[in-house]
């Protein structure tokens, strides 16, 4: 097994650096026959830090070519799977108790190791089991919770997830899934469709229709209260008229008038 040019130990998960200008495709370059541990490459380019927290220059290990790590967004290396396949030794994971062949270790680190530090697309760095937890995904704007199955899906894959797994479409106006075609949804179901109030004939947005009806109810209650007040005042006037008529009738005829 080759020796890593950074840590000087046997290389673990060998990679060939490809980011420097000296690393030209189909040409022998500084890294054609040199391999580095993937972990050493990550530390070298500071890939475990947000871009704006990295140093702004890194020099090639063998020539004067330089690169700005702050401008690295894709992996600046490629793995040497052939070299890993030729390694018959067992390797232990540096982060957990996994042990296996070099290729198995690579697969474990890439997909399964719960304790390795990984970067989320949002820039957060933490252990994989934390980054992949619902607690992180619920606050990360790169994930979206499916309204149908409650799984967290990468936002960019959300529409295809709805279509492939639930046979549903995503409305880009109300952001809700629907079994209808989008055109039918916009007419009959979308919470942002325009509907006409059957009481006043005014157009209103569907998701505010309840508030609109509540306003009608409040107006009606106001009118009822006003009518109650008018009725109460009118009843008092009626009682005064009645009392005056009864008194005059008794005075004139000497008997009571039953109104």
Q: Other C-beta atoms within 10 Å of 70: how many?
A: 16
| pLDDT on residue 186 | 93
pLDDT band at 258 (very low <50, low <70, confident <90, very high): confident
What residues have CB less than 8 Å from 190, skipping those under 6 apart? 171, 173, 174, 176, 178, 206
Q: Residue 11: its pLDDT value, please?
A: 95
Q: For the chain, what are the domain ranges?
A: 14-87, 142-192
Tracing tokens 């109300």 back to the chain, one arrives at 174
The number of residues in the chain equals 259
Q: So what's the pLDDT on residue 252?
A: 87
pLDDT at residue 214 tops 80: yes
User: Whole-angstrom distance between the N-terminal and C-terminal Cα of the chain?
Assistant: 118
Q: What is the pLDDT of residue 251?
A: 87
| Alpha helices by DSSP H, the chain | 38-45, 81-85, 102-107, 128-131, 134-137, 158-166, 182-188, 209-253
The mean of the pLDDT values for the chain is: 92
Sheet arrangement for strand 14-17 = 36-37, 14-17, 77-79
pLDDT, average across residues 16-35:
91
Whether residue 8 is predicted with pLDDT greater than 70 in this model: the reply is yes
Per residue in 33-64, pLDDT (tens digit) is 999 999 999 999 998 888 888 999 999 999 99
> Residue 69's pLDDT is what?
94
> Residue 188: its pLDDT value, please?
93
Q: Which of 86, 51, 88 is nearest to 70 (CA)?
A: 51
Q: What is the DSSP letter of 108?
A: I
Chain centre to alpha carbon of residue 2: 43
Q: Binning pLDDT at 50, 70 and 90, where does residue 254 land?
A: confident
Query: In the prediction, which pLDDT does 259 show?
Result: 66
Segment 82-100, tens digit of pLDDT: 999 999 899 999 899 999 9
pLDDT > 70 in the chain, percent:
100
Position 239 pLDDT exceeds 90 = yes
Can you give the pLDDT at residue 164?
94
Place of tokens 């409305």: 171
Whether residue 173 is predicted with pLDDT greater than 70 in this model: the reply is yes
* Nearest alpha-carbon partner for 130 in 148, 105, 122: 122
CA distances from 115 to 18, 87, 123, 128, 228 (A): 27, 24, 18, 6, 72
Mean predicted confidence (pLDDT) in 12-18: 95
Alpha carbon of residue 118 to chain centroid: 19
* Contacts of 159 by beta carbon, 8 Å cutoff, 6+ apart: 169, 170
φ/ψ bin of 167: left (φ > 0), alpha (ψ from -120 to 50), beta (otherwise): left
pLDDT digits (tens, 9 = 90+) for 116-127: 988 888 878 889
């Amino acid at each position: 097994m080759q020796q890593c040019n950074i840590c000087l130990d046997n290389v673990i998960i060998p990679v060939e650096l490809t980011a420097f200008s000296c690393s030209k495709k189909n040409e022998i370059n500084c890294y054609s026959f040199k391999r580095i541990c993937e972990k050493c490459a990550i530390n070298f380019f500071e890939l475990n830090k947000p871009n704006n927290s990295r140093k702004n220059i890194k020099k090639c290990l063998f020539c004067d070519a330089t690169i700005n790590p702050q401008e690295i967004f894709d992996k600046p290396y490629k793995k040497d799977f052939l070299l890993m396949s030729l390694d018959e030794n067992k390797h232990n994971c540096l982060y957990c108790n996994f042990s296996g062949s070099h290729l198995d270790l690579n697969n474990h680190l890439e997909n399964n190791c719960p304790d390795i530090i990984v970067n989320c697309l949002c820039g957060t760095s933490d252990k994989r089991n934390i980054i992949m937890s619902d607690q992180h995904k619920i606050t990360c704007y790169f994930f979206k919770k499916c309204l149908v199955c409650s799984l967290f899906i990468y936002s960019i894959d959300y529409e295809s997830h709805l279509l492939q797994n639930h046979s549903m479409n995503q409305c880009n106006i109300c952001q809700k899934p629907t079994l209808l075609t989008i055109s039918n949804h916009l007419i009959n179901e979308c919470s942002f469709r325009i509907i006409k109030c059957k009481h006043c004939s005014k157009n209103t947005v569907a998701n505010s229709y309840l508030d609109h009806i509540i306003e009608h109810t409040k107006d009606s209650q106001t009118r009822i209260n006003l009518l109650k007040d008018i009725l109460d005042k009118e009843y008092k006037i009626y009682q005064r008229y009645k009392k005056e008529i009864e008194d005059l009738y008794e005075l004139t005829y000497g008997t009571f008038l039953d109104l």
